[in-house]
Structure formats: C-alpha cells, structure tokens
Structure 1
Amino acid sequence: MRYRFFTIVALAAACVPLPALAHPHIFAEARLEVVAGNDGNLAELHNVWRFDEVFSSSVLLDFDKNTDLKLDAAELAELGETMRKSLADYHYFTTITVNGASFEVQKPDVIHASLDENNQLLVIFAVKPEKPVPLKGRLAFGIYDPSLYTSIDFPTDGDLVVQGAGFAKCQHKVVRPDPDDVISQNSASLTDAFFSDPAGTDMSKLFATRLEVTC
C-alpha cells in the first residue's frame, strides 16, 4: 500500500511505499506569530519553518530541474506551490481552538520557500481562519503533524508570540506537554491505532507544544 505522508509528498510530489511508523522522520524548527485584527478577531498566523539538513538535501535534489545544485527562483516557486496545494489536506499542520471549539484555516495565498546559507529549507507563510475567531475566552494555537511523521519544534518559548493591540488585555503562556504525563493521563483513550494509523489521529495534539491565550 502506498503511504501518502504529507511533507514528503508535498515536496517530492510522489507516493512511496513505507510502513506506518509513529515517530518523526522529518524535523523542522519553527516560529509562530499569532496576529490580532483591529476588529477584535484573530487576523492571521505567521509561520516560519526551517527543515533539517537531510530533508533539505532531498528537496534540493527533487526540485533542481536544471541540475545546477541550487534552486533558482522558478524552482523555489514550484516548491512553494507544491507545498501550498498538498499541505491543504492537513490544514497546514495548524490547530486553533476557542473554548475547546476548533476553527479551520484558509489556504495561504503563497508559501515562500528558500534555502539559507547552510542549504536548509526555509518556509514562510501566513494562514487566516475560515471564519471569524473572536479573541475572547480560552484560545489555543498549535502547529503539529497529526501523523507524527514530521516533528515541528519550537526551540524557545519566544518562538510562539502574540502581536497586536487586540491581545493587550490577554494573558498568554507556552505549554510544552510532558509525553509521560500525557500517556499516563490518557491511557484509556490512547489505543494501538494512535501509534500505527498512517492517517494520524486527533490524539497527537495532546503531545504538541501550543500557545494558550486567555482574554
């Protein structure tokens, strides 16, 4: 069976046969900026992802059409557009909740891709909510891969921030769940399917770093 795992498919535009494994194979360091609008609602989420060297090298090989060992503007644009289309199936790894209710996000206008001085893939894009998200109550924002194939890591708490006057009266904190505590507290609901289902489950969000905001 062909396993369509998002980021590889998104960047290599191909399906490859692999067993379903519940641990990451692709690693990215991230920054998330949650931006308030002037109308009292969420405006958008700004994402910056820097991928690991091994995966970045595979992307370079896959999208270097003229084989000059670099990605020119056209090749980078193709890479960004491939990601923009493919990651839609996974909501751009984005989760937004208000008082426990989930909100979907729109497809970004563009995903900007580049290679930094170390030839690591850098991806920058913004997503907006599908419908108004009021900045009231308990809000949570996270970036995670539900299949656990890709690890999205925030190196410091300063990599998850709020911006805009709409958050002036809100309190916020970064939550980094302890995996052992999550498993212990949810042992009844964490089944074998969680660890082996290639499609992923909602339970993986319990392990994800998130930004919690109370307004």
Structure 2
Amino acid sequence: MRMAASRVTFAALFSLATAMPLGAHPHIFVDAGLRVMHDAAGAITAVEVTWRYDELYSLLLASDYGLDPDHDMVLTADETAAMLGFDLNWGGGFAGGLVLSQSGDPLALGAPEPVSFFMHPNGQIQTTHRRAVQGAAPRVPVAAQIFDPEFYIAFEMILDITADDRPGCSVTLERADLDAAYAVLEAALQEIGGAVAAEDNFPPVGAYFADRAVIACPG
C-alpha cells in the first residue's frame, strides 16, 4: 500500500480488490480530523492529522501485523509502541494527503512525526501524526483539505477539527460536491478508454472528492 506502507499479504489485498467492480476506486476509506497549533502571534506552526481507517482495512492490518490475538480490542503497550508511525513511510508519489493554504497560496509542510496509535472497540485503527507548518501569516484563515490525488484512498473529514485552546476560533466545513466529482470522474474515465484502462492509469481526481475546512482565529 502506498500510504500505509503495510505488509498486508498479497492474498488479502487481492481479495479486497476483487470484491469491487473492475476499475473501482477508492479501495480504502479513512475518516480524518485536524488540530492546528499556533504561536503567540497567531500564526499556525503545526498541525496534527488523525486518520481512522475503515473496518475492513483495519482488520487486514491487525491480521498482518499480528495485533490483538485475543480479539479483545485492547492493545498492549508493546503493540502500540511497535505500530507507532507505521503508516508514515509514504511512497509512490503520495505526500501525506494534507494540503494547507492561505489566500489561495499553499503552505509548506514538514515531514510527519508520529503522535499516537489506537484501536477502537469496534476494531478500527486510528493514528495521529504531526507536521510542522512553515510560512503561515498570523490571523489569516487557513484552508485545509485531505485527499489522495489518485483516489485510491477516500478521505472524509468527519472527525474533530479544532484549534489549540485559542478562544474565538471557528471552523467552517465545506463538504465535497459528490455529484459533480463523479461527473468529473466519469468524463475522465471515458477520455482514457473506460474503467478497465483506468486500472493502470487512474485519473488524478481525488481533489474533486475532498472536503474543505477553513479555520479562522482572531488576533
């Protein structure tokens, strides 16, 4: 897997892929959340990103890594420590999915640092990592999106989006227009010859499916 860099077996991944129509994307579903951190002047200096994997992919990960062998959905301290940061070894051009911008200009992000690894009572795996933010102007709203350009992973920003104890901050969440996004996808697939051709050359439509959060904090 590009994002999670897991050791999931070929057989498990084949079963996951063949359970969907040929050419179907996405294959992995991730609920996402954010916590932004500011300096004394009010500029964002870092952001913590939380990913909660869908139940099927969480099951594959737990099986492959030998987690929770007694199936009580409680991990040991050793299991947690061993898994911390397991999904931060990105490859294949994936840059972490997070895009931050101010006034339409992208902000530079540092390398990810692991913060936490957790298994929910229903078996879903949740991770949090932190990234430094460079060049943010104080007291200027920041727009955030999380998406995989190739849409192998579908991110949905339904977890908490917060600021670090700053009074008066507001978050406006703009949900993706899925009808418009699927229309773009359909047109892109037709242009390259259909879903079968897309298996090896899927169009970069992930941004059209991305939610957008705007975080604004007073001075």
TM-score normalized with structure 1 length? 0.72
Conservation of the 8 A alpha-carbon contact between 1:96 and 1:139: yes
Question: Offset of 1:14 from its aligned partner?
Answer: 7.0
Task: Name which of 2, 6, 9 aligns with 2:3.
Answer: 6
Q: Within 5 Å, give how 1:23-34 maps onto structure 2.
A: 23-34=25-36
Distance in 1 of aligned mates of 2:146 and 2:101:
12
Higher helix share: 1
Q: Which amino acid aligns with 1:145?
A: D
Question: Offset of 1:155 from its aligned partner?
Answer: 3.3
Q: What is the identity percentage for the equivalent residue pairs of Structure 1 and Structure 2?
A: 20
Whether 1:60 and 2:57 are equivalent positions in the alignment is no
Q: Within 5 Å, give how 1:28-177 maps onto structure 2.
A: 28-64=30-66, 71-86=75-90, 90-129=94-133, 131-135=134-138, 137=140, 139-155=142-158, 159-165=160-166, 168=168, 172-177=171-176
Q: Which amino acid aligns with 2:162?
A: V
Conservation of the 8 A alpha-carbon contact between 1:21 and 1:149: no
Structure 1 residues 139 and 21 mapped into 2: Cα distance closer, same or farther (>3 Å)? farther
Structure 1 residues 14 and 39 mapped into 2: Cα distance closer, same or farther (>3 Å)? farther
Distance in 1 of aligned mates of 2:27 and 2:181:
22
For each residue in 1:60-106, what CA deviation from the matched residue of structure 2 results, as whole angstroms up to 9, or x when unmatched?
11111796657543333333333122379523211111222222322
TM-score normalized with structure 2 length? 0.71
Whether 1:211 and 2:213 are equivalent positions in the alignment is yes
Structure 2, unaligned runs of 5 or more: none
Distance in 1 of aligned mates of 2:111 and 2:92:
6
Question: Offset of 1:208 from its aligned partner?
Answer: 0.5
Distance in 1 of aligned mates of 2:132 and 2:201:
24
Which deviates more from structure 2 when the two are superposed, residues 96-105 or residues 67-76? 67-76
Distance in 2 of aligned mates of 1:66 and 1:204:
33
> Residue 48 of structure 2 aligns to a residue in which SS?
strand
> Residue 54 of structure 1 aligns to a residue in which SS?
helix
Distance in 2 of aligned mates of 1:178 and 1:190:
17
Structure 1, unaligned runs of 5 or more: none
Q: Which amino acid aligns with 1:133?
A: A
Conservation of the 8 A alpha-carbon contact between 2:100 and 2:107: yes
**Aligned residue-pair number:** 203
Structure 1 residues 161 and 61 mapped into 2: Cα distance closer, same or farther (>3 Å)? same
Conservation of the 8 A alpha-carbon contact between 1:88 and 1:107: no
For each residue in 1:106-155, what CA deviation from the matched residue of structure 2 results, as whole angstroms up to 9, or x when unmatched?
223324222222222121222222x2211455531112222212222233
Structure 1 residues 22 and 134 mapped into 2: Cα distance closer, same or farther (>3 Å)? farther
Distance in 1 of aligned mates of 2:201 and 2:9:
17
Distance in 2 of aligned mates of 1:113 and 1:64:
15
Distance in 2 of aligned mates of 1:88 and 1:125:
20
CA RMSD of aligned residues (A): 3.7
Q: Which amino acid aligns with 1:24?
A: P
Conservation of the 8 A alpha-carbon contact between 2:2 and 2:90: no
Distance in 2 of aligned mates of 1:142 and 1:198:
26
Conservation of the 8 A alpha-carbon contact between 2:35 and 2:48: yes
> Residue 94 of structure 2 aligns to a residue in which SS?
helix
